[in-house]
Amino acid sequence: MPIYEYFCDQCDKKFELLVFGKEQPACPTCGKADVKRCISACGFVSKGGGGETVSKSAGQSSCGGCTSTNCGSCGV
């Protein structure tokens, strides 16, 4: 179940809430159910096969002629 960020206009509070199914959230401070879901930043790190952080795709690599989808295949 996802955790969403919400904003309550009534008490001017931002909060996170675990939402189950089609459950209608309510502000934990004032109890008002008229809250707005905020756009949240997604936080994750993509790891390569060797445990290194992958910061760019093979198509953006310094290997101009590379057609591989895995930067680890050429050893660069």
**Is there a domain that residue 6 lies in?**
yes
Q: 49-68, pLDDT tens digit by residue? A: 665 555 444 444 445 555 55
- 32 CB contacts (<8 Å, ≥6 apart)? 8, 10, 11, 26
The answer to pTM > 0.85 is no
Q: How many CB atoms lie within 10 A of CB 62?
A: 8
Q: 13-52, pLDDT tens digit by residue? A: 999 998 888 888 999 999 999 999 998 766 666 666 665 5
**Is there a domain that residue 30 lies in?**
yes
The domain of 38 spans: 1-42
**Is there a domain that residue 10 lies in?**
yes
Q: How many CB atoms lie within 10 A of CB 71?
A: 20
74 token code pair:
């050429």
